[in-house]
C-alpha cells in the first residue's frame, strides 16, 4: 500500500523528463531525415538547373526548373543505349543466377551442406580486381571482352552468392512436410521442388531477385574493365563525365538521377523485401 | 511385391521414367549443387590460382606477351615500397576503421531513435533505405558537387554556421576524411536496418524489469539492450568490414585514377586497379592483390575471434 502510494508521485515527477526526452528524440529524428534527404534533394534540384544556376549559391531554391539537362544526357550523350545495357546485364545476371542458385540453395538448406556457407562468404571476400586480371587475360585471348555474355557472366559473381545466401535461409524456414506429402503421393523430389517448394517461395524469390538486380545494376568495377563503347553500362558512362576538362554539373546530376531513380523506385515499392534481403545475412548468425 | 503396389499407387505418368527419376532423386543433392559449384570454381577458384601464378611472373603490357618466372620478386618489391604500398595499407586501415566505427555508433544510435513507433515512421524507414540502394558511382558524383569548394552546398552550410570554407575532396589533407564521410552516409543505414531487425527480436521483459528496478535509459541500454544486440552487431560489422576494405566505387568516382594527384585516397584496391589496368603491370598487381587478400583474411579472422570471445563472455 505504502509502496504504491509512493510510486505515484514518482511517476508524475518523471513526466517532464519524458517530454524532454521525446523532444530530443524528435529533433534527432528530424536531423536524421535532414542528413539523408538533403543530399538527394540537392542532386535532384541541381539536375533541374542550368549550369549558370548550379554554380550560383544564391540560386539555391529560386530557379525555374528545366529538363534540358535530361535532354542533353539522353540525346547528346546518348544515354538510352547505356540504360538498355545496364538493364540487359542486370536481368541476364539475375535470371542465370536464379537458375543456378535456387536449386543450390535448396540442396544446401535441405541437406545441411555447411561448407556452402563458407563458399558463399569466399565469393564476398575476394577483391573483385583480383578476379578481373585473370578474367581479362582469358576473355581477351578468346576475344570476348566487351560482349554482353562476359558482363553477364561476371555479374553472376555478384548476384549468385546473394541469391544463395537469401534463399538458403528462406528454404530453411520452410517446413519440409509438404514436400514429403507430395513424395508420398508419388511425385519425384524434383517435381515436389518445382510444383510445391518454388510456388511457396515467391516472397523469398522476390527478395533475392530484387536485390540481385539492384546489385548488378550498381556494379561499376567489372563493366569498367570488361565493357566497350557498345556494351558500356550506366555507372561506367557516368564516370566518364568527369574526365572532360570542365564538368557539366547539370548533366552529371541528371545522369546520376537517371541511374538512381530506377533502383530507388524498386526499393520504395518493395521496401519489405529489400530490408529482409539486406538484413538476411546478419540477423541469422 | 511392394514395388508393384508402389507403381500402381503412383500417378501413371511417373511410372515410365521411374528408373531415371529414382536416380535423380537419390542424387538430387549433387545435381542441384554441382552447376553452382562448377560455376564458382571456374569463375573464382581458377582465376585465383591464375593470379597466384601471375604474381610470380613479370607479366606486363599486352596479355599475349610472354612472361618470365621471377619468384617472389614482386612480393619483395611491394613489401619494401614505402612510397605507394605502405601508405596505401595505412589508408585502407584508416578508412575501414573510421568508417566501420562511425557506422556502428551512428547506426546503433539511429536504430534506437527509430525503434519505438512514431508518426512518419514508415517515411523515415523508406528514406534511410535510399542511400543503400543508390548506385555508389552516382552517390560519389552527388557528393562531388556538394563538396565542390566554390559552388557546393557544403561550403554554403559552412557559411551559414560562420565557419571558414573548406577544400573537402580537393584538399589533400581532407580528402580521405571526406570520402569516409560519404561512405558513412551511404552505409550507416545498413547498420540501422540490421540493428532494428535485431532489436525487434528482443523481448521487452529484461528492459521492463530493469525499469521497475529504477535503471535509467542509458543504464538499460548499456547493460541490457547492447549486450543482447552484440551478436547481431558483430555479424553486421564483419559484413561491413569486408566491403569497406574493398571500397572502390566512391573513391574512383570522386578522386579518379591513383586516388587523386598525390594519391590522397589511394587504398590497396585503388592501387591494385591502377597497377593492373592503367599501367598493365599484371605480375606485380597480382602480387599486390595476394597481399591484399591476405590482409582481408587476417582482418576477418581477427573479427571472428573477437566475436567468439564477445559471445562467450
- Predicted TM-score (pTM) of the model is 0.88
- What's the CA gap between B207 and B219, in Å, rounded? 10
**A–B: how many Cβ contacts below 8 A?**
293
pLDDT on residue A22:
78
Cα radius of gyration (chain A)? 25
User: Which residue numbers in chain A have pLDDT < 70?
Assistant: 1-20, 116-121, 243-245, 281-285
Q: Is 50 exceeded by the pLDDT of residue B12?
A: no
Query: Can you read off the three cell numbers belonging to residue B41?
Result: 570454381
Taking CA atoms, what residue in B is nearest to A255?
Answer: B138
Taking CA atoms, what residue in A is nearest to B119?
Answer: A26
B86 — pLDDT class (breaks 50, 70, 90): very high
pLDDT on residue A81:
92
**Domain spans of chain B, in order of start:** 2-52, 81-312
Query: Can you read off the three cell numbers belonging to residue A268?
Result: 520504395
Interface of B with A in 252-281 (CB under 8 A): 252-253, 256, 269, 272-273, 276-277
User: Who has greater pLDDT, A145 or B18?
Assistant: A145
Co-location of A184 and A95 in the same domain: yes
| Angle A21-B183-A34 from CA coordinates, rounded to 5° | 40
What is the percent of chain B with per-residue pLDDT over 70, rounded to a whole number?
93
Co-location of A250 and A182 in the same domain: yes
Co-location of A127 and A267 in the same domain: yes
Q: Which of A68, A83, A98 is the last residue of a domain?
A: A68
Mean pLDDT score, B43-70: 85
pLDDT on residue A196:
86
Q: Is B104 on the interface with A (CB under 8 A)?
A: no
Q: Which of A34, A50, A68 is the last residue of a domain?
A: A68
Q: Residues with Cβ < 8 Å from A194, sequence gap 6 or more?
A: none
Q: Which residues of B touch A54 (CB under 8 A)?
A: 145, 151
Query: Can you read off the three cell numbers belonging to residue A260?
Result: 538512381
- Domain boundaries, position A48: 2-68
What total number of domains does chain A contain? 2
Interface of B with A in 172-191 (CB under 8 A): 185, 189-190
Co-location of A63 and A48 in the same domain: yes
Q: Is 60 exceeded by the pLDDT of residue B7?
A: no
Co-location of A48 and A109 in the same domain: no
The enclosing domain of A207 has a CATH number of 1.10.3720.10
Question: Which of A7-11, A172-176, B47-51, B85-89 shows the lowest per-residue confidence on average (mean pLDDT)?
Answer: A7-11
Q: Is 80 exceeded by the pLDDT of residue B307?
A: no
Co-location of A48 and A98 in the same domain: no
- What's the CA gap between A5 and A148, in Å, rounded? 76
Q: Is B37 on the interface with A (CB under 8 A)?
A: yes
pLDDT on residue B25:
79
CB B35 to CB A260 under 8 A?
no
Per CATH, the number for B81-312 is: 1.10.3720.10
Question: Which of A243-247, A274-278, B32-36, B142-146 shows the lowest per-residue confidence on average (mean pLDDT)?
Answer: A243-247
- What's the CA gap between A152 and A233, in Å, rounded? 11
CA distance B230 to chain A (A): 11
CB B282 to CB A137 under 8 A?
yes
For residue range B237-275, list pLDDT tens digits in order: 888 998 999 999 999 999 888 888 888 899 999 999 999
B121 — pLDDT class (breaks 50, 70, 90): confident
CB A35 to CB B185 under 8 A?
yes
Co-location of A27 and A93 in the same domain: no
Amino acid at each position: 500500500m505504502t509502496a504504491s502510494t509512493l510510486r505515484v508521485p514518482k511517476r508524475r515527477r518523471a513526466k517532464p523528463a519524458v517530454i524532454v526526452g521525446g523532444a530530443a528524440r524528435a529533433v534527432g529524428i528530424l536531423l536524421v531525415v535532414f542528413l539523408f534527404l538533403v543530399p538527394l534533394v540537392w542532386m535532384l534540384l541541381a539536375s533541374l538547373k542550368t549550369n549558370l544556376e548550379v554554380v550560383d549559391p544564391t540560386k539555391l531554391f529560386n530557379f525555374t526548373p528545366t529538363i534540358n539537362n535530361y535532354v542533353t544526357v539522353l540525346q547528346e550523350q546518348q544515354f538510352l543505349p547505356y540504360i538498355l545495357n545496364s538493364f540487359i546485364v542486370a536481368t541476364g545476371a539475375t535470371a542465370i543466377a536464379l537458375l543456378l542458385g535456387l536449386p543450390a540453395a535448396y540442396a544446401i538448406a535441405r541437406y545441411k551442406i555447411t561448407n556452402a556457407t563458407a563458399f558463399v562468404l569466399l565469393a564476398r571476400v575476394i577483391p573483385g580486381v583480383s578476379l578481373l586480371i585473370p578474367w581479362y587475360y582469358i576473355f581477351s585471348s578468346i576475344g570476348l571482352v566487351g560482349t554482353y555474355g562476359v558482363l553477364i557472366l561476371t555479374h553472376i559473381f555478384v548476384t549468385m552468392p546473394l541469391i544463395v545466401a537469401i534463399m538458403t535461409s528462406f528454404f530453411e524456414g520452410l517446413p519440409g512436410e509438404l514436400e514429403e506429402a507430395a513424395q508420398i503421393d508419388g511425385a519425384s523430389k524434383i517435381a515436389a521442388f518445382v510444383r510445391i517448394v518454388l510456388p511457396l517461395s515467391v516472397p523469398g524469390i522476390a527478395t533475392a531477385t530484387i536485390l540481385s538486380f539492384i546489385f548488378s545494376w550498381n556494379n561499376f568495377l567489372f563493366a569498367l574493365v570488361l565493357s566497350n563503347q557498345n556494351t558500356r553500362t550506366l555507372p561506367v558512362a557516368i564516370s566518364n563525365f568527369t574526365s572532360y576538362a570542365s564538368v557539366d554539373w547539370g548533366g552529371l546530376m541528371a545522369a546520376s538521377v537517371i541511374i538512381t531513380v530506377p533502383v530507388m523506385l524498386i526499393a520504395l515499392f518493395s521496401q519489405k523485401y529489400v530490408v529482409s534481403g539486406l538484413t538476411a545475412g546478419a540477423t541469422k548468425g | 511385391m511392394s514395388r508393384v503396389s508402389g507403381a500402381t499407387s503412383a500417378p501413371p505418368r511417373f511410372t515410365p521414367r521411374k528408373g531415371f527419376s529414382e536416380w535423380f532423386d537419390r542424387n538430387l543433392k549433387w545435381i542441384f549443387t554441382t552447376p553452382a559449384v562448377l560455376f564458382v570454381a571456374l569463375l573464382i577458384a581458377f582465376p585465383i590460382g591464375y593470379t597466384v601464378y601471375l604474381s610470380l611472373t613479370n607479366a606486363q603490357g599486352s596479355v599475349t606477351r610472354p612472361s618470365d618466372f621471377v619468384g617472389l620478386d614482386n612480393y619483395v618489391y611491394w613489401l619494401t615500397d614505402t612510397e605507394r604500398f605502405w601508405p596505401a595499407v595505412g589508408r585502407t586501415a584508416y578508412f575501414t576503421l573510421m568508417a566501420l566505427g562511425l557506422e556502428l555508433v551512428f547506426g546503433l544510435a539511429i536504430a534506437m531513435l527509430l525503434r519505438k513507433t512514431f508518426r512518419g515512421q514508415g517515411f523515415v524507414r523508406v528514406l534511410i533505405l535510399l542511400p543503400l540502394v543508390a548506385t555508389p558511382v552516382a552517390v560519389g558524383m552527388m557528393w562531388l558537387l556538394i563538396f565542390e569548394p566554390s559552388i557546393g552546398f557544403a561550403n554554403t552550410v559552412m557559411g551559414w554556421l560562420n565557419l571558414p570554407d573548406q577544400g573537402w575532396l580537393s584538399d589533400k589533407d581532407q580528402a580521405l576524411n571526406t570520402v569516409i564521410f560519404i561512405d558513412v552516409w551511404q552505409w550507416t543505414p545498413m547498420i540501422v536496418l540490421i540493428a532494428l531487425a535485431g532489436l525487434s527480436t528482443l523481448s521487452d521483459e529484461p528492459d521492463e524489469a530493469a525499469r521497475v528496478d529504477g535503471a535509467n535509459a542509458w543504464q538499460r541500454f548499456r547493460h541490457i539492450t547492447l549486450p543482447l544486440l552484440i551478436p547481431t552487431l558483430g555479424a553486421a560489422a564483419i559484413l561491413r568490414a569486408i566491403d569497406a576494405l574493398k571500397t572502390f566505387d566512391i573513391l574512383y568516382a570522386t578522386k579518379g585514377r591513383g586516388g587523386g594527384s598525390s594519391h590522397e585516397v589511394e587504398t590497396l584496391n585503388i592501387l591494385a586497379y591502377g597497377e593492373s589496368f592503367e599501367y598493365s603491370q599484371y605480375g606485380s598487381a597480382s602480387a599486390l592483390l595476394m597481399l591484399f587478400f591476405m590482409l582481408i583474411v587476417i582482418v576477418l579472422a581477427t573479427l571472428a575471434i573477437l566475436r567468439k570471445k564477445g559471445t562467450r563472455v
